[in-house]
Structure 1
């Protein structure tokens, strides 16, 4: 990526606006000393715009960048006072609030690796992940007292309210100096197919990753951004990083509620929102505004990632909210792969979009050769923030320096598409079937609110399709009607052999449907 490109994008997004010379010098010095990780981005923002509101927290109110940096440095001091240091791993189990950000930025600034725990983990899963990730302590919000109760007595547990009280008593100290080795942030995979794995986040070496995203998604310096996606996972964490780089104001709510999120967009005149697809689905279920549209006057961007949208949803959303939807296809391991702009989604609502600047995407067959346009193959990706490997030492498949996303997909007429997970395809009676093909059809039925189709073992056909359907309120649908609907629009081998009606689909904290929980319903 050329310096000319970097400069042009930064200028277009308002990042090169002149400011007080001494603050600009201090900003550049912070980046030079601390780099482009979380600790460096916070410091460059605090040195350039100390009185800019960094976070609007629903409990603590407005927190400026200067205040956030001061609390972050106190968190660093408190962690060191408790005996934690470079190379050790500490777990953080927290919702979206400013205190969590203080711990994140404070830990990495003194070389501590921070493992971001999924708030949806059960007590048993949390204990297993803590053991596998070799954490030496766990800091948690008070609401998780019951979940942490099953952790071994040998693991120190720091309760959130007690931590905050201790932090308040830490005296202000001299500014920190960068550690010999900066702390890493370890993000857990979603764990939809098993125990979550730890993926170490690579620290950006320059402006490249930022430019790749904001060139495609029009975020601007000092925007106000509602971050509804959980910050313990890739997309919410990325929103926090981008916000620091842009000296933006982050609006946080501990828990997502569709009405409260909609109110926050209006109350804070937000320019952007970061969410996961199911959140927008829930917001679309709210009563429409009197004029039939939901668009907020200042809203330019609704950026989502994390899972696929139901067929046709993106068009319905933009018809009501305006052409503000940007959907990033990526993974914990690959970071970003493609970004679909509103123009892409108007052209085809099911597309994953195209690779942004500095990103290489190839569709390969099982032998590692490129497939022809329109043919389905394995998706491989390369960019500046591909993960460094799992903390267990394992990795994903890599071909010519590109990492497997674990998905199957194809490219057609310049747009990329995701056809399903490479382990989702089932062979039923000798025919290859991708469940997403059936899901896309069924979700268009007026009685269907949401649907998931999975493969289950079958003694006669090898595998069979099972459909799990949550109906719209007041609507009725029978198993035979579902099968006839699929038979009328798809090949015979796509017809589910069984249909189960459920109140709602089981999801993890990042909105992904838990197929393993659905299979348990069959027995």
Structure 2
């Protein structure tokens, strides 16, 4: 990536402001020694702004100096008490907290690989992850009971380890720790994906060039830190020497109060969280938000427009995945023009829509989405990977580009169904139903059908005080879409089954 672009972006976001020479020397020395992963980013922030509040949760806060001191003590303790060495894998089953950041930095500082585990996994899934990832140990919040046969370190024990840590100095390990993020596991046991560690300022600048996060932000990271987007938000926040606000669980009223009380200028979230915030009555002072950045799933219906009508044009939507990191970013202007767009590729990223023959599809024509950037994952821990074409990785999604070059995601490759010989995208019908004023949540999937091969099934959650019948739902689809898009099954539920990141668990939807 061109040096002038990097310097201009860093300067525009306040990262090149004048500082005492000694602090600057320590800052860049930390990056040179420890790299651009969490271990290096925390150390550069502590070198430049040691007394800045780094992170605050329900139990209090720590400055950058204090956070680094505790993380280093924990690293020494894990090496002495649990035998954690470079190349080991350490599972993290934790909610968003100061402690989770300490663990992440400690593990990577030892050259070990943190494995970020979804807090919503079942006991059998957790046991399968521990076995498949060959965990040295599993560090967990005390609220989680581990299946038989899995050894772990609870948060109470963790505090004791920090207090009794042996002396010594940490040196950069010969092997850099690599973070392993698990796929969502909405249809089975999640796979481990090896994430690259940034090799410089390029990945950061690609994001903050399009999403205007600045040095010293006060940012609520509402997305779970075990999720690709929550983890990316933490990486960005440490690089920006931001103050990170965390809550163990996302509760809309508490999140709104935290945004106000901590004067947050930014929020990192997943779309379902915005939907829940919108269900709160707009009362009291409005938080000073400049940036609300979401990722992880599609923005349903007209949520983008409704959110910006209340909070201002502050919404940015990043489309990406565990495997490709990011593909495109929609700005508020993009979302005003086309509320369902995933935006445009940022600098240093290529997105291609390829037809069945592997040729670029024309504007408006659907095809397979492929992405290229410097943060494509290194493969799954089981040795498998994704299809690669000319340096571009398959996302597993189908989509199209409009005449302005904006990306639109039409659905997952394995979600598209053939009903009576017609290709049908469930997400197209899902977005249509989500726009109904009576509908709070909508999910549409394909199910097997003896006559047509597959048919659509719609699952709806209705807003309190509203009413809707199955036939009204079908008639709405008939008026706006082709005959083969009309769902044969319409099921009303009290809530959609979701995992901890807000993705609908399609395997848990009842079948007719």
- What interval of TM-score do these two structures reach, taking the shorter chain for normalisation? over 0.9
CA distance in 1, matches of 2:415, 2:365: 17
Give how far 1:367 is off: 2.4
Q: Which residue of 161, 168, 177 maps to 2:171?
A: 177
State whether structure 2 residue 84 is matched by structure 1 residue 84: yes
Give secondary structure in 2 for the equivalent of 1:134: coil
Per-residue CA distance 1:146-191 (angstroms, 9 max, x = gap): xx1x231xx42111111112212225543x2111101111000101
Which residue of 2 is the match for residue 266 of structure 1? 260
Give secondary structure in 1 for the equivalent of 2:381: coil
Which residue of 1 is the match for residue 53 of structure 2? 53
State whether structure 2 residue 186 is matched by structure 1 residue 167: no
CA distance in 2, matches of 1:222, 1:172: 32
Per-residue CA distance 1:15-36 (angstroms, 9 max, x = gap): 0011111010010111111111
Structure 2 counterparts to residues 341-360 of structure 1, below 5 A = 341-360=331-350
Which residue of 1 is the match for residue 429 of structure 2? 438
State whether structure 2 residue 204 is matched by structure 1 residue 213: no
Which residue of 2 is the match for residue 426 of structure 1? 417
Structure 2 counterparts to residues 103-502 of structure 1, below 5 A = 103-145=103-145, 148=146, 150-152=147-149, 155-171=150-166, 173-174=168-169, 176-289=170-283, 295-296=286-287, 298-413=288-403, 414-502=405-493
Per-residue CA distance 1:297-318 (angstroms, 9 max, x = gap): x310000000011121100110
Per-residue CA distance 1:345-403 (angstroms, 9 max, x = gap): 01111110000010011001122211111100000001111100000000011111111
Q: Is the 8 A contact 1:114 1:186 kept in 2?
A: yes
CA distance in 2, matches of 1:489, 1:37: 48
Per-residue CA distance 1:393-417 (angstroms, 9 max, x = gap): 0001111111111100000122110
CA distance in 2, matches of 1:88, 1:320: 47
Give secondary structure in 1 for the equivalent of 2:203: helix
Give secondary structure in 2 for the equivalent of 1:209: helix
Of 475-484 and 6-15, deviating more is 475-484
Give secondary structure in 2 for the equivalent of 1:118: coil
Per-residue CA distance 1:275-323 (angstroms, 9 max, x = gap): 0000000000001126xxx742x31000000001112110011000000
Give secondary structure in 1 for the equivalent of 2:84: coil
CA distance in 1, matches of 2:8, 2:194: 31
Which residue of 1 is the match for residue 6 of structure 2? 6
Structure 2, unmatched stretches of 5+, are none
Structure 1, unmatched stretches of 5+, are none
State TM-score, norm by structure 2: 0.98
Q: Is the 8 A contact 1:91 1:130 kept in 2?
A: yes
Which residue of 2 is the match for residue 66 of structure 1? 65
Give how far 1:96 is off: 0.2
Q: Is the 8 A contact 1:117 1:232 kept in 2?
A: yes
CA distance in 2, matches of 1:496, 1:15: 52
Kindly report structure 1 stretches of 4+ aligned residues shifted beyond 3 Å.
Answer: none
Give secondary structure in 1 for the equivalent of 2:219: strand
State TM-score, norm by structure 1: 0.96
Per-residue CA distance 1:225-255 (angstroms, 9 max, x = gap): 0000000110110011001101110001110
CA distance in 1, matches of 2:419, 2:455: 6
Q: Is the 8 A contact 1:95 1:230 kept in 2?
A: yes
CA distance in 1, matches of 2:267, 2:89: 31
CA distance in 1, matches of 2:445, 2:151: 40
Per-residue CA distance 1:455-508 (angstroms, 9 max, x = gap): 001111100110001001011111111111111211110000111000011111
CA distance in 2, matches of 1:68, 1:405: 36
- Alpha-carbon RMSD across the aligned residues, in angstroms, is 1.1
CA distance in 2, matches of 1:194, 1:88: 25
CA distance in 2, matches of 1:496, 1:483: 6
Q: Is the 8 A contact 1:70 1:172 kept in 2?
A: no
Give secondary structure in 2 for the equivalent of 1:144: coil
CA distance in 2, matches of 1:158, 1:81: 14
Structure 2 counterparts to residues 17-32 of structure 1, below 5 A = 17-32=17-32
CA distance in 1, matches of 2:134, 2:246: 30
State whether structure 2 residue 34 is matched by structure 1 residue 34: yes
CA distance in 1, matches of 2:143, 2:310: 36
Q: Is the 8 A contact 2:77 2:166 kept in 1?
A: no
Q: Is the 8 A contact 2:76 2:167 kept in 1?
A: no
CA distance in 2, matches of 1:395, 1:284: 38
Q: Is the 8 A contact 1:295 1:320 kept in 2?
A: no
